[in-house]
A and B are shown apart, each in its own frame.
Chain A
């Protein structure tokens, strides 16, 4: 690891100011991904700005009935918060499906959204990788890509976004709040992460020096049922092969509201708008759910070794929606 400076931010404004003064500086939250990437040589910031003790560690009720989650709320505290468990269970389930107890105690809400892909080539500095070293190529296209993308990838990058939390937030239409040199702004979580295109080095639309301060959830309307389901190689402490966050409301046998987002399939949480269009107003049957999944997954372009993800996503979608419809 290369030597680096360290400063503890006294305020959000202070953190943002220091970041603006020191190109390449990184914010340190829980550090569970950043410190690991520094050990691997993938990250070598000249300065760490420790934001972990900023007063962004509260979950607050919003006047409209929504919830504001501070960026420094730990994953385990987020998953355990009664307001989250009771009103947004899909979010609690998603967080609890990720990582381990130790990691969830350390990792933060903001940091979770900014974690990097676990593509093997990205994490190995002896290998080419367009995300880590733009222009060097993508060995994953012909190499080890079983865990990688089937939707939205490009010739430059086939990486997947690894966060479970982000998938649930995408289905919940959450907003990411940022504070930067040019002030504050909010970005829908569905457009916060990017598709790789020809700039796979950029995971998100965050600008240099911007700090995530909070994530806001809109009110959870009555009658919504929601669930996170994750398929992985072992039953705990593993990244998703495919995951699905589903929010469903059914009345008189017809779908009144549906929001679906996939994890493990793309460079960002994949909000399934085509599937939702099939679901809206249709009868809440397994046939409808299968047609919805097929409508979304028609765009899939699997690589040599990850075609199984398409069938897996279809099965998860039908299963989780059928479970939710049975509760409605």
Chain B
């Protein structure tokens, strides 16, 4: 498991006390590198949606409570509504748009379709990004609150339905499609193909530019 948090990239972010209200950042999103000046107040979610036209991640609560904005940062899921874009300089970001390989959907996307794991679909991009993160975390030995005490530290955790429910609790679905979401994630658990097109499954933050 990788717990590193090394500095990555960073052309225009000031290291002296900045009084300005904007900084230039480099964002690496779904394999494409963007250099742009951002208002310090801008969240990653707003920059993805308003500046980069990546509208897959949704603004639900905007307070980190609903999970509709979930993306992967250096391979790990996070609420993009609570991340300041300026602080993501150099990070490797994956949104739901980066999961499919051309016209070939990611196995999780296929599973959500096959299981009809949605009604309105608003929470679905966040559900799928979160599920991808959850499956990787379990494979990498990250425990959850329901992981048995006697599970061996660092060993992959089997994604039982209870584990899926617990690990997906940060994603709300107002349509109440939870039973189908658990089934869809369950269909993909343990599958080797939990990488994504823009990120061939490599983990960790160590590949600084």
Contacts and interface: CB of A to CB of B under 8 A. Distances in A.
Interface residues of B, number: 57
Given A31-B87, A79-B143, A103 B79 contact: yes
Nearest to A85: B153
Given A53-B5, A80-B141, A106 B23 contact: no
B147 to A, nearest CB: 8
Interface in B134-179: 134, 137, 141-145, 147, 149, 153-154, 165-171
A53 B149 CA distance: 32
A210 interface: no
Contacts of A237: 169-170
Contacts of B21: 3-5
B77 A97 contact: no
A6 B6 contact: no
Nearest to B74: A105
A93 to B, nearest CB: 7
A72 to B, nearest CB: 6
B169 to A, nearest CB: 4
A103 B64 contact: yes
A18 B82 CA distance: 24
A80 B1 contact: yes
Contacts of B79: 32, 102-103, 106
B200 to A, nearest CB: 21
Centre residue among A1, A76, A97 by max chain B CB count within 10 A:
A76
A99 B144 CA distance: 11
Contacts of A102: 64, 67, 70, 77-79, 130, 133, 170
A82 B182 CA distance: 28
A36 B43 CA distance: 11
A6 B14 contact: yes
A238 B40 CA distance: 30
Contact of A39 (B13, B15, B63, B134): B63
A317 interface: no
Contacts of A209: none
Given A82-B153, A101-B167, A76 B64 contact: no
B10 A236 contact: no
Q: Is the interface of A mostly helix, strand, loop or mixed?
A: mixed
Q: Is the interface of B mostly helix, strand, loop or mixed?
A: loop
B87 A52 contact: yes
A195 B78 CA distance: 33
Interface string B1-19: 1011111001001111111
Centre residue among A6, A8, A96, A97 by max chain B CB count within 10 A:
A6
Contacts of B142: 76, 79-80
Interface string A18-55: 10011000001001100110110000000110101100
Contacts of A99: 170
Contacts of B169: 100-101, 236-237
A73 B87 CA distance: 17
B83 to A, nearest CB: 7
Interface of B: 1, 3-7, 10, 13-21, 23, 39-41, 43, 62-64, 67, 70, 73, 76-79, 82-84, 86-87, 89, 130, 133-134, 137, 141-145, 147, 149, 153-154, 165-171
17 contacts: A4-B21, A5-B20, A7-B18, A31-B84, A36-B64, A38-B41, A48-B40, A58-B3, A77-B1, A80-B3, A80-B142, A81-B3, A86-B153, A101-B168, A102-B79, A106-B82, A236-B169
User: When A and B form their complex, which 4 residue pairs have the shortest distance between CB atoms, in order from nearest?
Assistant: A100-B170, A236-B169, A82-B153, A77-B3
